Amino acid sequence: METNKMIPITKPYIIDTDIEAVTSVLKTGMLVQGENVLALENFTQQYLGDVHVAAASNGTATMHIMLKVHGIGAGDEVIVPAFSYVATANVVELVGATPIFVDINLDTFNIDCTQIEDKITPKTKAILAVHEFGLAANIEAIQTICTKHNLLFIEDAACALGAQFNGNKTGTFGHSASFSLHPRKAITSGEGGLIVSKNKDFIEKCKVLRNHGVNPNAGHTGFTEAGYNYRMTDFQAALVLSQFKRFQDILDTKQSIAKRYLEEIKNSKLSLPKIENNYYHSWQSFHIVLNGISQAEAIEKLKTSGIGSNYGAQCIPQMDYYQNKYNLNAKELFPNSYNAWQNGLVVPLYPQLTDTEIDHIINSLNKL
């Protein structure tokens, strides 16, 4: 096939009606957080059911606010997976608490719950669990541990909008949850995020911190907190809301591409993601682990075939900031996280892929 056109690792799925939704907001001249942000929050609430929602400027700001409102700060410890996007640990640092890393399970790329209890101390306040690449973490195990040790369960669901466990959607399991609307995720506002909680009061407090600490119920001296400006603009909300309305189609298409990959990629050097029956994977990323070919070589070979690919996530304790601060021997302490970082490979999976492109990706992977 013609390979002078690169198949990118991902591509936001923005169609004409999405663009029209944005331009119609621009024409009103009302650009900052307004009725479209509210409409996005209401739509998310309906989509997830039985939760309250606050939109914010990105999926890191969301978690920063959430940890603040949960009262997590200096002297506290938060359990995080050693393998994730670095923001998962950065937000713990941002509030002055200490991230306590736990290795992942290589079948799911999610936190290995059998290793959590060993890391719990009197300082532990929360488990910040990631649903990596769109697959829910081990919800039951995390809930059991949180109940037993009186910990908060916070979901970093940044890449898992639409994912399910036992028929329930991610974002509805923890005390609070965060979604990202970055272009690498299934639907996007450019930059954006959503905070979700069953606790209405919690969401109200998040909304105050999101908007300079302004408490709408406290009159004109009511700057009740030293807040942030983590608002989403109204045209961004319109952009993502328009995609959200056709989200099930987006998920279905991704599902059928992932199914082809799982059935047709056959190469002993590639180990494919595994999904248990009661999980619905939202396929933010299709993440393969390589053995017998290096990551650099695989990326280079695929690039020669016109296919974009990259590593999936970081082994966070190995990143410079965390090395300098905590000096943990990540390779020894978190071998699965280290392996996934060093040998993980994300390949293109997005709704606009054509059958020819999918064939080409499968054939190229089978030839690696």
Ligand X SMILES: *Cc1c(COP(=O)(O)O)cnc(C)c1O
Please give the torsion angle defined by the CA atoms of residues 190, 136, 294 and 258, in that order, rounded to the nearest 10 degrees: -80
**CB–CB of 93/99 below 8 Å?**
yes
The 109-138 contact track toward ligand X, x by CB under 6 A, reads: ---------------------x--------
CA-to-CA dists, residue 117 to 113, 120, 146, 224, 350, angstroms: 8, 5, 10, 38, 37
- Alpha-carbon distance 349 to 258, whole Å? 7
Residue 92 vs 116, nearer CB to ligand X? 92
Minimum distance of ligand X from residue 136's CB (angstroms)? 13
- Of these, 22, 104, 152, 159, which contacts ligand X (CB under 6 A)? 159
115 closest CA partner among 139, 68, 79, 149: 79
Tell me: does residue 87 bind ligand X (CB under 6 A). yes
Tell me: does residue 188 bind ligand X (CB under 6 A). no
* Stretch near ligand X under the rule CB under 6 A, chosen from 36-44, 83-91, 198-206, 228-236: 83-91
Please give the torsion angle defined by the CA atoms of residues 347, 350, 356 and 357, in that order, rounded to the nearest 10 degrees: -30
Residues between 232 and 271 with contacts to ligand X, criterion CB under 6 A: none
Tell me: does residue 180 bind ligand X (CB under 6 A). yes
* Stretch near ligand X under the rule CB under 6 A, chosen from 81-89, 113-121, 207-215, 337-345: 81-89
- Alpha-carbon distance 273 to 288, whole Å? 6
- Alpha-carbon distance 194 to 179, whole Å? 5
Number of amino acids touching ligand X (CB under 6 A): 14
- Alpha-carbon distance 172 to 155, whole Å? 9
Tell me: does residue 286 bind ligand X (CB under 6 A). no
- Of these, 125, 169, 182, 287, which contacts ligand X (CB under 6 A)? 182
Residue 345 vs 368, nearer CB to ligand X? 345
* Stretch near ligand X under the rule CB under 6 A, chosen from 105-113, 135-143, 152-160, 318-326: 152-160
- Of these, 193, 227, 273, 312, which contacts ligand X (CB under 6 A)? 193
Residue 231 vs 360, nearer CB to ligand X? 231
> What backbone phi and psi angles, to 5 degrees, belong to 126?
-155, 155
Tell me: does residue 85 bind ligand X (CB under 6 A). yes
Residues 6+ apart with CB under 8 A from 87: 59, 60, 63, 158
| Residue number with the smallest Cβ distance to ligand X | 59
The 23-52 contact track toward ligand X, x by CB under 6 A, reads: ------------------------------
DSSP state of 182: S
What the block records as the tokens of 47 is 């989509």
Q: Which residues bind ligand X (CB under 6 A)?
A: 58-60, 84-85, 87-88, 130, 156, 158-159, 180, 182, 193
